[in-house]
């Protein structure tokens, strides 16, 4: 039965291993200090051997990055408030909140260690595109402009400044983007 299913769905076992290992990582990161989580712990919880993990992900940092990237996929469309300015404000305030949190900071660190950090901007692009597509009559700003003026300062300040962006600054940047 299992063999037939896998014959019909190539990658079925591989997808199940991935899901089980990702879940194990998420659960362990909730229960333990990040630095104490090891590949053998993850393997034991996921019901696979450590060598399965090493073969597939190479090492722990790649696995953590893979989980972080999977987590970045947003659960839903950006909030629709009825106006371009309102949608951008809602999006930017939520992004600032999420990225300033401890899981958000860890996620950004892991993503940088991944082989595909560009995936991060491609997700952001999709979200901004969804927003601007709602308001074709407003001659909305380009997606690149929104990434440079909203996402970049938010993340840069979290990573490299002593204090995150203030909400007032975020609103000023939105006005600048809308000019």
Q: Which residues bind a copy of itself (CB under 8 A)?
A: 108-109, 111-112, 117-118, 120-122, 144, 147-149, 151-153, 155-157, 159-163, 165, 169, 173, 176, 179
User: Considering the complex, what minimum distance in angstroms separates the CB of residue 151 from a copy of itself?
Assistant: 7
From residue 3, give the alpha-carbon distance in Å to each of 18, 48, 64: 18, 19, 30
Our CB check for a copy of itself shows the closer of 14 and 61 to be 61
Our CB check for a copy of itself shows the closer of 63 and 165 to be 165
Alpha-carbon span 176 to 179, nearest angstrom: 5
Our CB check for a copy of itself shows the closer of 2 and 163 to be 163
User: Considering the complex, what minimum distance in angstroms separates the CB of residue 60 from a copy of itself?
Assistant: 13
Alpha-carbon span 38 to 58, nearest angstrom: 13
Our CB check for a copy of itself shows the closer of 21 and 110 to be 110
Our CB check for a copy of itself shows the closer of 31 and 176 to be 176
List b or e across 75-112, with b for residues whose CB sees 16 or more CB atoms inside 10 angstroms.
Answer: eeebeeeeebeebbbebbbebbeebeeeebeebbebbe
User: Considering the complex, what minimum distance in angstroms separates the CB of residue 91 from a copy of itself?
Assistant: 16
What tokens were used for 125? 């692009």
Number of Cβ atoms within 10 Å of the Cβ of 2: 8
User: Considering the complex, what minimum distance in angstroms separates the CB of residue 141 from a copy of itself?
Assistant: 11
Alpha-carbon span 168 to 60, nearest angstrom: 39
User: Considering the complex, what minimum distance in angstroms separates the CB of residue 62 from a copy of itself?
Assistant: 13
């Amino acid at each position: 039965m299992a063999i037939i299913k896998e014959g019909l769905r190539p990658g079925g076992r591989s997808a199940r291993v991935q899901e089980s290992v990702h879940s194990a990582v998420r659960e362990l990161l909730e229960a333990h200090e990040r630095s104490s989580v090891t590949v053998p712990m993850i393997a034991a919880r996921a019901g696979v051997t450590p060598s399965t993990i090493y073969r597939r992900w190479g090492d722990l940092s790649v696995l953590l990055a893979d989980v972080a990237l999977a987590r970045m996929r947003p659960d839903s469309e950006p909030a629709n408030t009825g106006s371009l300015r309102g949608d951008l404000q809602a999006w930017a305030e939520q992004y600032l909140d999420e990225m300033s949190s401890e899981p958000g900071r860890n996620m950004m660190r892991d993503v940088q260690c991944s082989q595909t950090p560009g995936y991060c901007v491609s997700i952001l692009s999709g979200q901004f595109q969804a927003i601007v597509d709602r308001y074709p009559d407003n001659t909305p700003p380009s997606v690149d402009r929104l990434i440079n003026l909203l996402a970049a300062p938010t993340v840069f300040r979290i990573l490299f400044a002593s204090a995150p962006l203030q909400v007032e600054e975020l609103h000023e940047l939105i006005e600048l983007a809308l000019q």
